[in-house]
Amino acid sequence: MNTSKIAHRALRINRTPLKHSVRHRSTRAASTCPLPTPADRPSFPCVEAHAARESRILNSGNPPSIFSTQFPSQPSSSSSTNTGPEPPYARPSPTSYKTYHHSEPLPLTYAPSLPQFDVAYETWGSLSPAKDNVILLHTGLSASSHAASSELNPSEGWWEKFIGPGKALDTDQFFIICTNVLGGCYGSTGPSSIDPTIGQPYATRFPVLSIFDMVRAQFCLLDHLGIDKLYASVGSSMGAMQSLAAGWLFPERVGKIVSISGTARSSPSAIAMRFAQRSVLMADPNWNNGFYYGGLPPHTGMKLARQIATITYRSGPEWDQRFGRKVRSITPVQSSNTSPSNLNSDSRKLPRTPALCPDFLIETYLDYQGEQFCLKYDANSLIYISKAMDLFDLTSSSLASLNLTPPQPTSSQPPEPPTHSSHPSSPAHRYYHSQLSHSKHHPPPPNPPPHLPELAEGLMPLANTPTLILGVQSDILFPVEQQREVADALRMAGNQMVSYYELGGVWGHDTFLLDVQNVGGAIRGFLS
């Protein structure tokens, strides 16, 4: 047995879990004295990147503290420049948001109550004296409360172009609140938070959450702020689920609902994609059943998970246009196929040698996105929140199984636009109504899904809430069929104030982050 083989085996065996590692380590540890990899063996920079990242974390001397509820900051050192038109991803610091501490227990959907919790939040605009101009903005899975720049945090937010004076969420009219969700890692209570009963992070002792739990926590904050009724509940992606859940739980307290690229019932194909992400994450030995706080986080699993997620955020047509089949211009550093000595040579001029590591630009893009993300978000938060998305289902049978009694729909009229509403002749207003007339003609589905009547029954509490449903035809994560399904179910539930938009374009699920003109225009029109 050569030494490199010994080294490999040592690595492998030490990776086995506790009960096995003990046995193997005791018999093999003495023989582990590895030498460098033989020169004839190829190297793989994409694999070495994981070890290099780990080394950087260790050498920085700044692993996350086991007694800190703040998820750690680690710089990303990826040198790729394939950023493209990605949305900004700014991580908040503890001083860049406000925190509401709720000291009473919060009953949960699937578990007894959380004893207490924090909700981190940020606001834009001014609260009117009547407190009637409030928009609650819900985030997607991994976004923080930092939706837009502010005095407290001047860095760009994830919806920077949608929030501000005259923008889709007009701060001249509205007071906008965005929270970090329960279960998250940006200031709200989540798996990385200290369990006050034991003085250690919850880790996977944290209870499984539902979207309803997240929304209830948000409404505790609203209670604290003295806000009785929202002008609107607005969200995209998971935020759209929260937006619908808010209207469902508190129909009397939600004036309008905006649901963009979301769903009222997570589909098996979306569950499959999130399951794949959780699987690669949980298979990272650093995950350690969720108990990694104070040690190294599962950064490799997080990178792999984000690569998979990124595939679902855009569309094939966008990649066709953006990357096509282009490859890196740099000759890949990989010797596996660069004329190895054991292959016969001939006089032919060989083409550029492809690499097994990222080589096509689509690969380097995914690699870069994974690298950028893997130390910015808590792995357990990703697991819990993605699971909450999977569990979301507003069909009546699902709601019944959760012992959720549907609230009675409000019989009140749609809210009056706040002061300073845009004039009917304004471009935003005209744009909205030109689209609305189209959406009103959205035909009923030729083959409605069998659960549609049940979904309509489940959505009864929203029967009197004006609702905007916006979908994107190139979205593969929340496909347009699901958007139509929500709109159809709402109408079947008796809601005559459903606006339905369907956008083209190639940006897929991420359209809500990028298409200021169409997404922003639809929201602005609907809210005016």
Task: For the CB of residue 513, give the shortest distance to its own copies in the complex, in Å.
Answer: 19
Read off the tokens for 511: 């359209």
Query: Where in 124-183 is the site for its own copies (CB under 8 A)?
Result: none
Task: For the CB of residue 1, give the shortest distance to its own copies in the complex, in Å.
Answer: 9
Question: In this structure, what DSSP letter does residue 420 have?
Answer: T
62 binds its own copies (CB under 8 A): no
272 binds its own copies (CB under 8 A): yes
Which residue number, 7 or 497, has a Cβ lying nearer to its own copies? Answer: 7
Segment contacting its own copies (CB under 8 A): 136-144, 157-165, 171-179, 342-350? 342-350
Which residue number, 119 or 476, has a Cβ lying nearer to its own copies? Answer: 476
Segment contacting its own copies (CB under 8 A): 67-75, 87-95, 136-144, 205-213? 205-213
Task: Give the x/- contact pattern for its own copies in 309-328, rule: CB under 8 A.
Answer: --x---xx--xx--xxx---
Which residue number, 28 or 91, has a Cβ lying nearer to its own copies? Answer: 28
505 binds its own copies (CB under 8 A): no
Q: What angle do CA 135, 210, 494 make, to 5 degrees?
A: 60
Segment contacting its own copies (CB under 8 A): 161-169, 236-244, 285-293, 459-467? 285-293
132 classed as catalytic: no
Out of 83, 111, 228, 414, the only residue in the binding site for its own copies (CB under 8 A) is 111
**CA atoms of 202 and 211, how far apart (whole Å):** 19
Query: Where in 472-491 is the site for its own copies (CB under 8 A)?
Result: 476, 479
61 binds its own copies (CB under 8 A): no
Of 475, 488, 510, 515, which residue is the catalytic one? 475
237 classed as catalytic: yes
Out of 302, 383, 452, 519, the only residue in the binding site for its own copies (CB under 8 A) is 383
245 binds its own copies (CB under 8 A): no
Out of 69, 233, 267, 396, the only residue in the binding site for its own copies (CB under 8 A) is 267
Contacts 24+ apart (CB under 8 A), 488-491: 488/444, 488/445, 488/448, 488/452, 488/456, 489/264, 489/452, 489/455, 489/456, 489/458, 489/459, 490/456, 490/459, 490/462, 490/463
Segment contacting its own copies (CB under 8 A): 128-136, 268-276, 407-415, 466-474? 268-276
**CA atoms of 354 and 482, how far apart (whole Å):** 40
Q: Which of 203, 132, 189 is closest to 379 using CA atoms?
A: 203
Segment contacting its own copies (CB under 8 A): 138-146, 274-282, 409-417, 462-470? 274-282
Query: Where in 388-417 is the site for its own copies (CB under 8 A)?
Result: 390-391, 393, 398, 401-403
Out of 84, 85, 88, 294, the only residue in the binding site for its own copies (CB under 8 A) is 294
Read off the tokens for 170: 């007009």
Query: Where in 344-363 is the site for its own copies (CB under 8 A)?
Result: 344-346, 348-354, 356-358, 360-363
Q: What angle do CA 48, 51, 55 make, to 5 degrees?
A: 135
346 classed as catalytic: no
CA atoms within 13 A on the CB side of 258: 26
197 binds its own copies (CB under 8 A): yes
17 binds its own copies (CB under 8 A): yes
Contacts 24+ apart (CB under 8 A), 488-493: 488/444, 488/445, 488/448, 488/452, 488/456, 489/264, 489/452, 489/455, 489/456, 489/458, 489/459, 490/456, 490/459, 490/462, 490/463, 492/452, 492/453, 492/456, 493/456, 493/457, 493/459, 493/460, 493/462, 493/463
Q: What angle do CA 102, 206, 140 make, to 5 degrees?
A: 75
Q: Which amino acid is at 76?
A: S
Read off the tokens for 409: 């729909």
452 binds its own copies (CB under 8 A): no
Within 349-479, residue ranges assigned H as helices are 361-373, 379-391, 396-401, 427-440, 452-458
Note whether 465 and 410 are within 8 A (CB): yes
Give burial (CB, 10 Å; 0-12/13-18/19+) of 235.
buried
Which residue number, 47 or 130, has a Cβ lying nearer to its own copies? Answer: 47
Q: Which amino acid is at 349?
A: K
- Helices and strands (DSSP H and E) totals, the chain: 16, 12
Task: For the CB of residue 385, give the shortest distance to its own copies in the complex, in Å.
Answer: 12
Query: Where in 19-48 is the site for its own copies (CB under 8 A)?
Result: 19-22, 25, 29, 32-34, 36-37, 40-44, 46-48
Task: For the CB of residue 405, give the shortest distance to its own copies in the complex, in Å.
Answer: 12
Task: For the CB of residue 364, give the shortest distance to its own copies in the complex, in Å.
Answer: 10
252 binds its own copies (CB under 8 A): no
Note whether 390 and 384 are within 8 A (CB): no
Of 145, 188, 233, 237, which residue is the catalytic one? 237
Active site residues: 237, 475, 509
